[in-house]
Amino acid sequence: MQRQEAQQRIETLKAVLWENSRKYYVENAPTMSDYDYDQLMHELEALEAAFPDLRTADSPTQRVGSDSEGGFAKYPHKYPMLSLGNTYSIGEVEEFAQRAVKSLDRGFTFCCELKFDGTAICLTYRGGRLFRALTRGDGVMGDDVTANARQIANIPHVLKGTGFPDEFEIRGEILMPYDSFERLNREREVNEEPLFANPRNAASGSLKLQDPEEVGRRGLLCTLYHIPTGQVDYKTHDEALRAAESWGLPVSHERRICQDINEIEAYIAHWDSERKNLPFATDGIVIKINEMDSQRQLGYTAKSPRWAVAYKFKAEQALTPILSIDYQVGRTGAVTPVANLEPVFLSGTMVKRATLVNEDQMRLLDIHEGDCVYVEKGGEIIPKITAVEPSRRLPGARIPSFPLRCPDCGTPLVKSEGEAKWFCPNTDGCPTQIKGKLEHFVSRKAMNILCGEATVEQLYSLDLVRTPADFYDLSERELLLLEGWKERSARRFLDSIRQSRKVSFERVLFAIGIRFVGETTARDIARHFGNIDAIAAATKEELLEVRDVGEVIAESVVTYFRDPRHLEEISRLKAAGLQLSVESPAEAASEALMGQSIVISGNFSISRDEMKALIEAHGGKNSSSLSGKTSFLLAGEKPGPEKMKKAAELGIRVLSEADFRLLLPGMEAPSPESVRDEVEPTLF
């Protein structure tokens, strides 16, 4: 692959991976299986290895996904919560074990545990009492869900026994057992609420509820599996967990100490079958080096420990007939074939529908009408048809015809070069696409308007709302003439529309639904340009200067603002009073760092996020990598040796935290004992 081709593919992979990471961690509505996500991640890793100069600090290979969202206080983790390297191959597990043998200068064992399919949690106990519970967040800062964690039955508020540290963190997973999951979805179905796709999504969504009492009713459980090293004085990981259990903490009982790869493979084989009898979802096995000294010797990569690896189980399969095939149009116009199946129980849920992905996949599978197909849940989440059973094919079965026109609006479908999917190009006239964009606009992460799918359908069908700006023209009188509307519901709806005028510019930019522009990218673009007019006038080259924006995203933004209809819509949203510019900081601390680009490294008296905020408050710009444009390297205790070396090579000056604070008006140097130790990370 040539460098230019590799660069384009890397940008595409980064955009797709970050968008699916957001859907997985924040929206709890994944659109890609774990397996497919991991395969794309491996492809990106391979490309970056082949072209190291194209690897950037903002790549998904270098940063973990974030589950952080609004409505919760944010606090730093004492040790960063990292992710695990994943593999679906026993051969790669063997390679992991062999690398450990070659790297370590002492004998060691392996601790094998179930990989729980839930949402990560970090509990802090102080003086034997539950002090704080944080989600993983972005790995550095987590959302404070302490009130909700106190409602989970098996999380102790007070520890028992003796020997626990005065303060320590312990990491684990919040799970929703199958029984609780099925009960919750039955309740949601009765209330005509969207169903959760799987127990993992249900657990994550429940933990982020604003009502702790409702969290308590969801039937969640916690299992804990890691105390970061340095907080307890035990020789092995297993000893630390046994101590935690003696303090009343819910640790996993299914772990096993293995001496070699043969025992590891036997453990994997046992649980690959036995997991089906567990009351909760598991999606693999975690293999860790058991001895703490060996863990410290092996250390960490940018986003995962070298002393642990996760083996992911292959998805469960079932054989069932196709009853019919629908062709669904998505918000972006992509047409996806979906098979309606005779219901079959798989990985804890009843499967009635499964994606056929695209026309090419249908041809590859050789799908015929009425075929019996093998269905599996990729990564235990999204039902997917993987093969046909030809021996069960009915005589005379026909090959289904993929539509040439949009199933909704009748517009001829198009497929761009290099694209696998057919698209409806009628982006502003296709009813399904329009309704999808309206639903996105009013969603909680966007404008947070009290308007569900049924309301969007009603307002659209009556020609009251066709674009987002139409919401701001609605009146109480109009609503009260509609079926099902009462004064209270109309006023609540209109109040939420009025409140949406206060929503920040970055969320408005996300809400208008530019393809590939997710929540994080919208924030970065909004802050970079400052207002909607500057974005609309920006060239592709100017957009490429924004953090995390590559060729694909930049081209999408330019294309969006090239359309006169979109410019007219923006004009109407302006007139409606929406926030279409970044609010100036209420009180800039000073302009002492104005125009300066600063890179930070090491440990400081405050967290790194707080240090970055301090730089921005005084007019500076944070940068993730050193270059000729860097003003100086701010080096705390134990700065990264590579950054220090590069700074010397480039002739970039290095400032200590004390010297840095002397640049800022009214600041004092930190006391030596106040420096935070953020060197040793840990996995979640």
Main-chain phi, psi angles of 586, to 5 degrees: -55, -45
Using only C-alpha atoms, the chain has a radius of gyration, in whole angstroms, of 27
Largest CA distance in the chain: 85
Q: Which of 262, 302, 260, 316 is nearest to 117 (CA)?
A: 316
- 351 near 5, Cβ under 8 Å? no
Joined tokens for residue 410: 């009748």
Tell me the three state secondary structure of residue 229.
coil
Joined tokens for residue 356: 């056929």
* Strands 308-312 and 86-87, sheet pairing: parallel
Cα separation, 356 vs 398, whole angstroms: 17
Provide the 8-state DSSP code for 251. Answer: B
CB atoms within 10 A of CB 428: 13
- 652 near 643, Cβ under 8 Å? no
Main-chain phi, psi angles of 65, to 5 degrees: -70, 160
Joined tokens for residue 3: 């460098």
- 243 near 159, Cβ under 8 Å? no
Tell me the three state secondary structure of residue 241.
helix
Joined tokens for residue 154: 């098996």
Helix or strand holding residue 385 (H, E)? strand 382-388
Let me know how long the chain is.
Answer: 684
Helix or strand holding residue 226 (H, E)? strand 221-226
Q: Which of 440, 441, 474 is nearest to 459 (CA)?
A: 474
Name the residues annotated as catalytic. Answer: 115
Joined tokens for residue 340: 């309606």
Counting beta carbons within 10 angstroms of the beta carbon of residue 347, is it exposed (0 to 12), middle (13 to 18) or buried (19 or more)?
A: buried
**What residues contact 258, with CB distance under 8 A and at least 6 apart?**
109, 110, 111, 112, 264, 267, 287
Joined tokens for residue 89: 């191959």
